[in-house]
Amino acid sequence: MFTFIVRRLFQTIVILFIVSILVFSLMHLLPGDPVSIMLGDNATQEEVEHLRQELGLDKPLPLQYANWIGDLLRGDLGQSISLNEDVNELMKQRLPVSFHIGTMAFILAMIIGIPAGVIAAVKRGGWMDSLITVTANLGMAVPIFWLGILGIYLFSLKLGWLPVQGYTSPSEDFWKSLHQSIMPVVLLSLVSLAQLARQTRSSMLEVIRQDYIRTARAKGLKENHVIMKHALRNALIPVITLLGMGLANLVGGSVFIEQVFNIPGMGRLMVQSIFGKDYIVVQSVVIIIATVVAFANLLVDIAYGFVDPRIRYK
């Protein structure tokens, strides 16, 4: 297992290196001059050239990349061009917001989606199975931003139950934070919840047809014990993969959700930075999200060994 972890760590580092090259190259290939955007149309050519030298944009691209990677390894994410703020400070402000919303959405999707999939599989062909399946299909098909706008219109403007937009940290005002987070969290969890329910149902249906499940029932074991101890554990492998993919929302958040509800998270920051040609912020956000996704995949691979002992022995 140790050798496996070391090998996967090396692969993760290689993947992050490739991602850094791609995002750096793409941001510099986009049309538009970030210095001109920052200074405005009234700036003189001398001012543009002076700022370009200060930011190091007059140097060759390989040297700019090497300087960026060097600063990144030292923990210096640079200075935002459009916002004129330290990127480290921006991350300290935005990262906890996306992590808070994403964590609650992840937990909600997990505690509802997996049991719903188990119930649908056990009650296959019944009305509960049909209800869960149809609801899961709708959850994956309906656009999240449309549901967000509809939720604001119904629950905020018409009924007045929930706030229209905004974010408050739980450390400042817990109940206000909870009140503001209900709609964003529910909507952000919807797609993951639907995917988990569908995948859990499919995996459970495949497992409960196996001979060892029939043997466990023939031995007189209680149905709950058969489902939870034998069937669910062996059906969790593909479900764990989906859970690992869902970990990206813990820092990446959702662009649509953060835009609709005016939440100052990482997704909204990245959209603003792309439109502002603030390549330094975009590169930092993408690298952070890529790092989380890469290590989430590593955790998923390790979790396989604990859920299914056969994988450990291989």
Per residue in 206-233, pLDDT tens? 888 777 777 877 877 787 777 877 777 7
| Residue 107 pLDDT exceeds 60 | yes
Structure confidence at residue 106 (pLDDT): 87
**Residue given tokens 């986009």 in the structure block:** 30
DSSP-H helix ranges across 230-278: 232-246, 249-252, 255-260, 266-275
Structure confidence at residue 65 (pLDDT): 84
Q: What is the mean pLDDT of residues 24-34?
A: 70
Structure confidence at residue 231 (pLDDT): 78
Q: What is the mean pLDDT of residues 256-274?
A: 83
The number of C-alpha atoms within 13 Å of 191 and in the hemisphere containing its C-beta is: 18
Average pLDDT taken over every residue of the chain: 80
- Cβ density class 110-145: b for 16+ within 10 Å, e for less: beebbebbbbbbbeeeeeebeebbebbeebeeeebe
Structure confidence at residue 167 (pLDDT): 86
Structure confidence at residue 180 (pLDDT): 86
Q: What domains are defined for the chain?
A: 87-313 (1.10.3720.10)
CB atoms within 10 A of CB 98: 28
Which residues have a Cβ under 8 Å from the Cβ of 77 and sit 6 or more positions away? 71, 86, 87, 88, 91, 280, 284
| Residue 238 pLDDT exceeds 50 | yes
Cα 192 → chain centroid: 10
Structure confidence at residue 39 (pLDDT): 63
The number of C-alpha atoms within 13 Å of 132 and in the hemisphere containing its C-beta is: 27
Structure confidence at residue 19 (pLDDT): 84
Structure confidence at residue 41 (pLDDT): 63
Q: Quick one: what percent of the chain has pLDDT higher than 90? A: 0
| Residue 205 pLDDT exceeds 80 | yes
| Residue 313 pLDDT exceeds 50 | no
Q: Quick one: what percent of the chain has pLDDT higher than 70? A: 87
| Residue 237 pLDDT exceeds 70 | yes
Band (307; pLDDT cuts 50, 70, 90): low
Structure confidence at residue 102 (pLDDT): 86
Distance CA 253, CA 232 (A): 29
Band (311; pLDDT cuts 50, 70, 90): low
Structure confidence at residue 49 (pLDDT): 75
